[in-house]
Amino acid sequence: MEPGVEELMPRLLPVGDCDLAEDFDPTVPPRTPQEYLKRVQIEAARCPDVVVAQIDPRKLRKKQTVNISISGCQPAPEGYSPTLKWQQQQVANFSAVRQSLNKHRNHWRSQHLDSNVTMPKSEDEEGWKKFCLGQRVYSEIDELSDNENLGIDYMKVGFPPLLSIVSRMNQATVTSVLEYLISWFGEKKFTPELGRWLYALLACLEKPLLPEAHSLIRQLARRCSEVRVLEESKNEEQISALNLIICLVSRYFDQRDLADEPS
Given the candidates 1.10.1040.10, 3.40.50.360, 1.20.58.1070, 3.40.630.10, the CATH classification of the domain at 84-139+153-258 is 1.20.58.1070
- d(C-alpha 199, C-alpha 132), whole Å: 12
- d(C-alpha 97, C-alpha 103), whole Å: 10
Maximum CA pair distance of the chain? 98
Residue 114's contacts (CB-CB under 8 Å, 6 or more residues apart) are: none
pTM of the model: 0.70
Phi, psi of 231 (to 5 degrees): -65, 100
* Sequence ranges of the domains in the chain: 84-139+153-258
Residue-level pLDDT, tens digit, the chain, 263 residues:
455 444 545 555 555 555 666 677 777 777 777 777 777 777 777 777 777 777 776 655 554 554 444 567 898 888 889 999 999 999 999 999 999 999 999 999 998 888 889 999 999 999 999 999 988 787 776 555 544 444 567 778 889 999 999 999 999 999 999 999 999 999 998 999 999 999 999 999 999 999 999 999 999 999 999 999 987 777 889 999 999 999 999 999 999 999 998 76
* CB atoms inside a 10 Å sphere around CB 135: 16
Residue 223's contacts (CB-CB under 8 Å, 6 or more residues apart) are: 182, 185, 186
Residue 4: predicted pLDDT? 47
Residue 5: predicted pLDDT? 46
CA distances 3 to 18, 35, 50, 91, Å, are: 20, 22, 17, 69
